[in-house]
Structure 1
């Protein structure tokens, strides 16, 4: 398998990578959100924390944009809800679905039903819109800690954005 010359030059630091127009919106301040935003900035994302509770909004890494009102995610945005236990879950997802986000997902254990489904149904969100919300998110690498969950999530987003399967299959 031969790598593209441009990709090799970038990987070796011989050329600059073309800037990507992309945004990662982490919804709700949490340990995972902190790592997601930190690593996302390293990957060239515009990092945004949406935390409706102003008292919690200060828990964001340096350089991340912090919003206490819902952002209007454009087609370059990936939205990741990092706490599925919050009472605002349904309304936050409803707002994200009303925007143009490229991708929307909710973190959570895949062995348990996602609470976002009932929260959105209670708000009369149409089933096709509910189906746009991904769960689980990220690559299945056995992640357990907040940094590992962030890595798995971002790897999954990059694979999806680049139309790749993830894992070791090329």
Structure 2
């Protein structure tokens, strides 16, 4: 980045990313509330996918939940915010079939990801299962829903920009 470009970034006058960016938060949860809010501020088109209409209780004002998975393409990032849901495998299989740019499942990296067994049980190929990231985001020691959302989005922005995240420049 040249010095004038760096100054434009610092002063908030740099041109925005012209590419369409979509974030699909899967499952209504405290983390998805913050993902939707923060992602919108970052310029993402946002969607909340909650397959169980009875669980649509944690949707922030100004957002709606879809009970069907929105169309996915190479402009979409999908973040699954609850790895304990019984529909995890079916949701991930459908997301993988949509060929989004990126798919991740929140969860503690010290525990095995339940998505692997769920997808294997549905006959999903190992190469497709490997496209599902876990853990997600930057390792900042997140403990609260807003911190988890912040770390997740920082990781997505770094990945989208071809950067490793953290303090490696």
Q: TM-score range by the shorter chain?
A: over 0.9
- C-alpha spacing 1:78/1:85, structure 2 compared with 1 (3 Å): same
Q: Give the TM-score taking structure 1 as reference length.
A: 0.92
More off after superposition, 9-18 vs 155-164: 9-18
Question: What is the match of residue 71 of structure 2?
Answer: 72
Stretches of structure 1 that go unaligned for 5 or more consecutive residues are none
Q: Deviations over 1:3-50 (max 9, x none)?
A: 552353244134552444100000000000000110000000011100
- Cα distance in 2, alignment partners of residues 148 and 4 from structure 1: 32
Q: Deviations over 1:107-153 (max 9, x none)?
A: 00000000000000110001100000000000011111000000000
* Structure 1 runs, 4 residues or longer, greater than 4 Å off: none
- Over the aligned positions, Cα root-mean-square deviation in angstroms equals 1.6
How many positions carry a matched residue from both structures?
Answer: 169
Q: Give the TM-score taking structure 2 as reference length.
A: 0.93
- C-alpha spacing 1:118/1:7, structure 2 compared with 1 (3 Å): same
Stretches of structure 2 that go unaligned for 5 or more consecutive residues are none
CA-CA distance at 1:71 after TM superposition: 1.4
- C-alpha spacing 1:9/1:127, structure 2 compared with 1 (3 Å): same
